[in-house]
Amino acid sequence: MSARRKREWFDDDSFWQDLYPFMFPEQRFASTAEQIEKILALTKPDGKAALDLCCGPGRCSIALAQAGFTITGVDRTDFLLDKARARARDANMKVEWVQMDMRDFVREDAFDLVLSMFTSFGYFDDKGEDLLVLRNVFSSLRSGGVCLIDVMGKERLARIFQPTTSDVLPDGTMLVQRHEILDDWTRVRNEWILFRKGRAKSFRFHHTIYSGQELRDRMTQVGFTDVRLYGNLDGDNYGPDAHRLIAVARKTVG
Ligand SMILES: C[S@@+](CC[C@H](N)C(=O)[O-])C[C@H]1O[C@@H](n2cnc3c(N)ncnc32)[C@H](O)[C@@H]1O
């Protein structure tokens, strides 16, 4: 982490470590190759150099490598990059792993495709820093390159919002989720409480929630043209029933 920045929730490695089994069950890895097929159909990149921004344990990076891409995976979390390295080794795939904050990673005109998957965008208290990330992505794309961002959209959240929900996970752990909307419906503060073997552990995190229009405006602001919104990776329309907000935008220069 850069010394000039204040410490935020995502800088706590134990957050990613303790929640790993719930965020990254094996079935999430198992469904990734199919997701990548859909992503390639939606984005149609011109070349085979790709950046997986906030790559975590390397799900998409490794599946892209298996699809013949030259991959750079960037993430800040040591623990997750170690998982990614081990999985790439097991799959016999070569990936360049870079430990860096997404606000700092920029590599001019290097990539044909940039992915930000599974709600890895909108983390910063200062929304100007989300814009900085988009500027970095835009600069890192080659002319004609394409970017795909996958988050939960504000329209969907507004439709399904419940302050408290609870689930029992396959291993018997109870997960209670509490949510609070902040700052005029621009941010959500979450608390996840895990109850396991008579013990409770709580995790707090918060992030910006973008509507389709807000995300498109931010992307346009940094130079992207023709920003298309979809409700899933199959390319269905975006709207309040859409499970995801998928933005696909191209860098057209000149
Ligand atoms: C929900 S996970 C998604 C991982 C991956 N994109 C996927 O689809 O499986 C979010 C990821 O963002 C990373 N992350 C959080 N804040 C970051 C930052 N400021 N810079 C770089 N990576 C960050 C975390 O370490 C984590 O791997």
Pocket mutation for ligand 1, best pick of 6, 9, 12, 76 (most atoms within 8 Å of C-beta) = 76
Å from CA of 175 to ligand 1 middle: 21
Flag whether pLDDT at 98 surpasses 70: yes
Over the range 208-227, which residues count as b (16 or more CB within 10 Å of their CB) and which as e?
Answer: bbbbbebbbebbeebebeeb
pTM of the predicted model as reported, rounded to 2 decimal places: 0.96
Contact 98, 74 (CB under 8 A): yes
pLDDT digit string, tens, across residues 144-194? 999 999 999 999 999 999 999 999 988 889 999 999 999 999 999 999 999
Q: Supply the pLDDT for residue 2.
A: 52
Q: Supply the pLDDT for residue 169.
A: 86
Å from CA of 254 to ligand 1 middle: 33
Flag whether pLDDT at 88 surpasses 70: yes
Q: Supply the pLDDT for residue 217.
A: 98
Across 37-110, where does the E strand assignment appear? 49-53, 70-75, 96-99
Å from CA of 201 to ligand 1 middle: 21
Alpha carbon 67 to chain centroid, angstroms: 20
pLDDT bin (cut points 50, 70, 90) of residue 254 is low
Flag whether pLDDT at 3 surpasses 80: no
Flag whether pLDDT at 121 surpasses 70: yes
Of all protein residues, the one whose alpha carbon is nearest to atom 18 of ligand 1 is 101
Phi, psi of 104 (to 5 degrees): -105, -20
Average pLDDT rounded to a whole number, residues 237-244:
93
Q: Supply the pLDDT for residue 253.
A: 72
pLDDT digit string, tens, across residues 25-78? 999 999 999 999 999 999 999 999 999 999 999 999 999 999 999 999 999 999
Average pLDDT rounded to a whole number, residues 233-245:
95
Å from CA of 162 to ligand 1 middle: 25
Average pLDDT rounded to a whole number, residues 243-248:
97
CB-defined site of ligand 1, < 6 Å:
10, 16, 23, 54-56, 59-60, 75-77, 80, 101-102, 117-120, 123
Å from CA of 123 to ligand 1 middle: 9
Across the chain, where does the E strand assignment appear? 49-53, 70-75, 96-99, 111-116, 141-151, 164-168, 174-182, 187-196, 199-208, 225-230, 245-250
